[in-house]
Structure 1
Amino acid sequence: MKEDNISRLSICPRCGKPYYEPPALSRLDNETLICPDCGTREALDSIGVSPEEQDSIIQTIHRCLRSE
């Protein structure tokens, strides 16, 4: 049986925003599924990247994904 490639809308429990991409596993509890942006923020935060730099990195990721 062929599986349809239908995106599923989810709401991130961390930021409250909707997302369609595959979720990330939160580093905080290793159980909660969060949006890719929050997953990226948690990863960057774990290595000491400032919130301002996190915003810049996430904007760059979004720009690159839009251009594909």
Structure 2
Amino acid sequence: MMNKFTNWVEVKLMNNDTESLLNYRSLAPFAQFNHPTQEHFLPLIAFLGASETSAAKRIHQGVEFELLTLDAYSFS
């Protein structure tokens, strides 16, 4: 479940699909399981909006306790 969600996010970021990311709660697989509340996902949207270009690159991918995915992206 976790990998499907994080892979979906990565694909949408790489394809600059802002519309899908804004509607992730209804479009992303297992969104409710991975983010039952929005406070940990919305900063990604804020950084995406603040970037001069929306080109995202994953700079860190980590899994903690076989439950939490801790991905980090750079926007250039």
TM-score norm. by structure 2 comes to 0.31
Q: In terms of Rg, which structure is larger? A: 1
* Bigger fraction of residues in helix: 2
* Bigger fraction of residues in strand: 2
Question: Comparing both chains, which one has the higher relative contact order based on Cα–Cα distances under 8 Å and sequence gaps of 6 or more?
Answer: 2
TM-score norm. by structure 1 comes to 0.33
